[in-house]
A and B are shown apart, each in its own frame.
Chain A
Amino acid sequence: MKIRHYIAALLGLSIREIIKFSNQKGRLFSAIVRPALWLFVFAAGVGSAKGIQPALINFYPTQNINYFEYITPGLLGMVLLFSGMQSSLSMVYDREMGVMKILLTVPLPRWYMLISKLIAGTILSVIQAYCFLIICLPIVNIYTPFLTSFTGWFLAFPFIVLFGLMLGSLGLLLSVYIKQLENFAGTMNFVIFPMFFISSALYPLWRLIDNGALYVYHIAKLNPFTYGVEMVRAASLGKFYLNGFLVCLICTLIFLFLAVRGYNPQNNAIKKSKSKNG
């Protein structure tokens, strides 16, 4: 009886996310067009004809790979990142529309409601990520074959899910602090762009050392997005990147813990009583 209730609530939240997603026709389109532009335009212009040396840790079987192939895990991360932040936006929307009150008065533990919300958002993120792969990769592969096989992307599924969970939990955490929908532009500037650009999504990190941008290199090494991208890159080639896996797992747990804490009414009381006392 109890387990059925838990499953039904998760199902309810997931169905709601999927219905809302399917009602917003442009959302899937923009989720695919954004990385597709990077793949077909940016990669075409920037990529070296001779290829690129992937990274200090090279998961590829050769030293040089074409830039289209290099950038693909990063663009997959971009889809997950935008979708994760969209979950944050939907939480803020729910709060503004009052739906959040209904979610928080359901007779289930609050942490479970937040995890369910995270899972529902991640399902959408992963669907979008695979739509991008299924639509865009065959087109690129027509004129530049990848070392990564199509099955590689399906083997990477659990790691793409973990990457999505990490970014979704970051979105949940941000939703604790974003009080209005209007503040979402700030999220773009201070979270999405730095996370994406200061990572190994677009270029290998050794390039930063070569260019003398050591501080950017160190920030990129601290950026969990870098580890997510490298974990997915490794997984798509049938390899396991332990550091990436651990960073993603630990970050997911930390972000989620802080988000659950942020939505706990007791915290509100603690803050109030502190201010009351002094």
Chain B
Amino acid sequence: MLKEKFMLEINNIKKYYGSFLALNNICLKLKPNQLVVLLGPNGAGKSTLFSIITGLVRADSGSCVINGNNIASQSIGALKNLGVVFQQPTIDLELTVKENLLFHARLHGLRVASLKKIIEKELNENGLEKKINKKVRTLSGGERRKVELIRSLLHEPKMLLMDEPTVGLDPRSRADLLKKILNLKSSKNLSVLWTTHLVDEAEKADKIIILDKGEIIAIGSKKEILSMAKENKLAKAFLKLVEEK
């Protein structure tokens, strides 16, 4: 019997900060071409989990395997599969859009000459063609996020991690970003792990994981979460599950 393939497998992750237990026995699996939304209030441990998946922080116990590579022992193989958009902007404000993208391309060992046309095409599709030689400092928050998204996909990762990517964006930009991710998921066969505290962003997810105080309190499709909470709206179900815990 063939073993099911997972893009991300997290098993029994625990993380302490001093005596504070930030994550307790976290287990989750992400299949190829799946959008999983990790939903949780502020301080739930979403960013800590994100840091563990990206190898920025080591878990105290448990394992995190990305496309068959353990992030702790095979970090290079694991990181090759990841495209990351962090919650905090991670783009160099002093470089132009093009310089930032080429910098990222070189860090990933991509051939810059063949990428220039792809970069222009991506910027065109995102309405940023006129900003190509502008310093990122002069871009709006939404435009910077778009550049970060283009950057995270340049090396054609198999999985996209997005840590509260809509923080600071207006409703229109939020909706645009979510729509773009859904399109990318189907067009590029991407697996996406999206963390957020905004319930409406989880509406179109294939799977929703609700995290609170470092523990997973519910996991399932939207339909399953609604039935678990016996509610008809996801926002109400989320609040109920968090309060009941």
Return chain B residues, CB-CB under 8 Å to A102.
Answer: 84, 90, 104, 107
Contact B109 A8, beta carbon cutoff 8 Å: yes
A241 and B240 CA atoms in complex are apart in Å by 74
Residue A4 at the B interface, CB < 8 A? yes
Q: With contacts A20-B94, A102-B107, A275-B19 known, is A109 near B76, CB below 8 A?
A: yes
CA distance A23 to B96 in the complex (A): 11
CB-contact partner of B58 in A4, A97, A268, under 8 A = A268
Give CA–CA (A275, B18) in the complex, Å. 5
Separation of A20 and B136 alpha carbons in the complex (Å): 13
The reply to whether the CB of B88 lies closer than 8 angstroms to some CB of chain A is: yes
CB-contact partner of A16 in B60, B90, B92, B110, under 8 A: B92
Contact, CB under 8 Å: A104 / B92: no
B-chain residues with CB within 8 Å of residue A13 when the two chains form the complex: 106-107
Chain A residue with the shortest CB-CB distance to B80: A107
| Cβ of A68 to closest chain B Cβ, rounded Å | 37
- B80 and A101 contacting across the interface, CB-CB below 8 Å: no
Q: Mark B149-167, 1 if CB is under 8 A from A, else 0.
A: 0000000000000000000
Contact of B99 among A16, A101, A103 (CB under 8 A): A16
Report whether A101 and B16 are in contact in the complex, using a CB–CB cutoff of 8 Å: no
CA distance A9 to B91 in the complex (A): 17
Q: Which residue of B lies closest to A264 (CB)?
A: B58
Q: Give A97 to B75 CA distance when docked, in angstroms.
A: 24
> Taking the complex as formed, is B93 at the interface, i.e. its CB lies under 8 A from any CB of chain A?
yes
Residue A26 CB within 8 A of the other chain: no
Could you tell me the distance between the alpha carbons of A23 and B84 in the complex, rounded to whole angstroms? 28
List A residues 1-40 near B (Cβ within 8 Å). Answer: 1, 4-6, 8-9, 11-13, 15-16, 19-20, 23
List, in ascending order, chain A residues with CB within 8 A of B18's CB: 272, 275-276
Assess whether A266 is interfacial by the CB under 8 Å rule.
yes
Q: Say whether B79 contacts A97, CB under 8 Å.
A: no
Question: Residue on B with the closest CB to A4?
Answer: B109
**Bound: A12/B209 CA distance, A:** 38
Instruction: State whether A105 touches B19 (Cβ < 8 A).
Output: no
User: Which of B56, B102, B103, B107 has the most chain A CB within a 10 Å cutoff?
Assistant: B107
* Cβ–Cβ contact A23 & B76, under 8 A: no
Q: Which one of B78, B88, B108 contacts A106 once the chains associate, using CB atoms below 8 Å? A: B108
Contacting pair B60 A8 (CB below 8 A) = no
CB distance from B178 to the nearest CB of A (A): 22
Q: Contacts A275-B19, A276-B16: A98 and B94 contacting too (C-beta < 8 A)?
A: no
Q: Which of A81-98 contact B (CB under 8 A)?
A: 97-98
Bound Cα distance from A275 to B15, whole angstroms: 13
Bound CA span A107–B106, Å: 12
Q: Is A242 positioned at the interface, with any CB of B under 8 Å from its CB? A: no
- Contact present for A16 and B95 (CB under 8 Å): yes
A273 touches B94 (CB 8 A): no
Inter-chain contact A105/B109, CB cutoff 8 Å: no
Asked whether B103 lies within 8 Å of A272 as measured between CB atoms, the reply is no
* Cross-chain contact A105 with B55 (CB below 8 angstroms): yes
Q: Would A15 and B76 be within 8 Å (CB), given that A273-B16, A275-B19 are in contact? A: no
Asked if residues B79 and A9 are in contact (CB atoms below 8 Å), the reply is no
Contact of A265 among B57, B90, B93, B108 (CB under 8 A): B57
Cβ of A99 < 8 Å from any Cβ of B?
Answer: yes
B151 → A minimal CB distance (Å): 8
> Would you list the 3 A-B pairs with minimal beta carbon distance, nearest first?
A12-B106, A5-B109, A98-B90
**Supplied contacts A5-B109, A8-B108, A101-B86, 17 more A-B pairs, CB within 8 Å:** A9-B107, A12-B102, A12-B106, A15-B103, A97-B89, A97-B90, A101-B56, A102-B107, A105-B54, A106-B79, A107-B79, A107-B80, A268-B58, A272-B16, A273-B16, A275-B19, A276-B19
A-B contact pairs, 23 of them (CB 8 A): A8-B106, A8-B109, A9-B106, A9-B107, A12-B104, A12-B106, A12-B107, A16-B95, A98-B86, A98-B89, A99-B90, A99-B91, A103-B107, A105-B82, A107-B77, A107-B78, A107-B79, A107-B80, A266-B58, A272-B17, A272-B18, A275-B19, A276-B16
